[in-house]
A and B are shown apart, each in its own frame.
Chain A
């Protein structure tokens, strides 16, 4: 009898201990078992967009015959003029595109100057972690004559930037950087597209990104950014493009030369707004 009592006591004690130590059940866990329906339910949120790499966009333009024009990129000296958070973020993207443009055209000193401008903006926006490891500036300068190595370092910077934003739950800001890079890439492309059908095709191909980039830009929850004007300008560009673009037999976009000139002007105006102090 005594033994039985002991067994019961130990069992009760042990079981009680088990339940005491278990994590408090969530409300959902104590509800009745749900009968799972086989019918597929579609999430009603809009599709997530994966933003492309500005380095890749630059390489695509480069391969399609985009010639270098040293007067087009934003001057790295202008970096000191950007005093607002919005300008710093946007021009981080602008300089990323300019750096890729310089690297791909083997402009060594320009490439180094753009890297310095990017580093300055990353420091000023609290993203100094991007350049704090890996001796990237030193490696960049050391390997400046080797295009393959430089492209790998640029890719490393891109990975670190993306990871920094992911780790700090600031992925939404990727859209701001990308906007700067996209506008600069399109500016360089449209200014050189005249007479080059391949570059023109590549410019039009990039226009597809706008339909998702604009909502991403408007969805910024950080109210310290002032992106309304840039988003409105992008919206106007997209509206114009959608009204004039047609599809060829293969499903690729095409527009007539006059509309291309108009598109170039609109992009130039937006770019001017972004790079101004």
Chain B
């Protein structure tokens, strides 16, 4: 496979060289230049998607930073596969009675935003209640935070939009923090 950056650089060089000899060429060069630029941007985007290896420590570090005063409990980096339809991936989070938690989601490694919904029961259960939705409470942010009012097992649903044209992949970083209240008391 040819190297993208080298190729695009080569295109610009060749086109620039041509434009020195003919003013009519300039217009063609301009049009082609815009086209090449568009291609480069699109390719860069696709590259980010196809390289969706879910071990990006930078995204996780940012999520951990957003825990603020909460102690890191654990993390789950989920591989997100965009298919031709909207799909849902569920993560069960065991939370313990009386504890205070903060959940942080980092969507920076996703080619298209995945919506985060949090329920009190699994998707197989009847009558579950939606406790949080990034659609209404996330303000389109890359990093989302949620602090459950009552600590009991919760079910996170990643609502994955359809891919455009072909399958795409990305990574959702989820970090859970808990409040270590006893430290001060001791």
Mark A residues whose CB is within 8 Å of B. Answer: 3, 6-7, 10-11, 14-15, 17-18, 20-24, 26, 28-29, 33-34, 36-43, 45, 47-53, 55-57, 59-60, 62-63, 104, 106, 147-148, 151-152, 155, 158-159, 162-163, 166-167, 169, 171, 201-202, 205, 208-209, 212, 251-252
Contacts and interface: CB of A to CB of B under 8 A. Distances in A.
B174 interface: yes
B57 A167 contact: yes
B117 to A, nearest CB: 11
Interface stretch (B106-114, B127-135, B136-144, B175-183): B175-183
Nearest to A213: B94
Contact of B14 (A17, A39, A47, A205): A17
A20 B118 CA distance: 46
Contact of A14 (B32, B85, B122, B183): B32
A212 B92 contact: yes
Nearest to A39: B85
Interface residues of B, number: 66
13 contacts: A18-B35, A22-B43, A50-B91, A52-B73, A53-B73, A56-B99, A57-B96, A59-B180, A60-B96, A147-B183, A151-B180, A159-B64, A166-B75
B140 to A, nearest CB: 21
A11 B24 CA distance: 12
Contacts of B162: 34, 36
B94 A41 contact: no
A97 to B, nearest CB: 15
Contacts of A57: 96
Nearest to A209: B94
Interface of B: 1-2, 4, 7-8, 10-11, 14-15, 18, 22, 24-25, 28, 32, 35-36, 39, 43, 46, 54-55, 57, 60, 64, 71-78, 83-94, 96-97, 99, 122-123, 152-153, 155, 159, 162, 165-167, 174, 176, 178, 180-183, 186
B1 A24 contact: yes
Contacts of B186: 104, 106, 147
B132 to A, nearest CB: 16
Contacts of A252: 97
Most central of B1, B15, B54, B182 by chain A CB within 10 Å:
B182
Contacts of B122: 47
Contacts of A209: 94
Nearest to A51: B74
A12 B60 CA distance: 47
Nearest to B60: A163
A60 B99 contact: yes
A201 B98 CA distance: 12
A166 B2 contact: no
Contacts of A20: 2, 7
A52 B83 CA distance: 30
Given A17-B10, A22-B43, A167-B57, 13 more contacts: A10-B18, A21-B7, A34-B165, A37-B85, A40-B87, A41-B87, A41-B88, A42-B88, A43-B87, A43-B89, A53-B72, A166-B75, A167-B55
B178 to A, nearest CB: 5
Contact of B166 (A28, A36, A50, A163): A28
Contacts of A37: 85
Contact of B57 (A6, A43, A53, A163): A163
Given A40-B88, A42-B88, A50 B183 contact: no
Contacts of A7: 24-25, 28
* 6 nearest CB pairs, A to B: A21-B7, A28-B166, A53-B73, A41-B85, A47-B90, A48-B91
Contact of B174 (A3, A50, A151): A50
A104 B174 CA distance: 27
Most central of B24, B94, B96, B165 by chain A CB within 10 Å:
B94
Contacts of B24: 3, 7
Contacts of A106: 186
Most central of A10, A60, A62, A158 by chain B CB within 10 Å:
A10
B1 A23 contact: yes
Contacts of B10: 17, 21
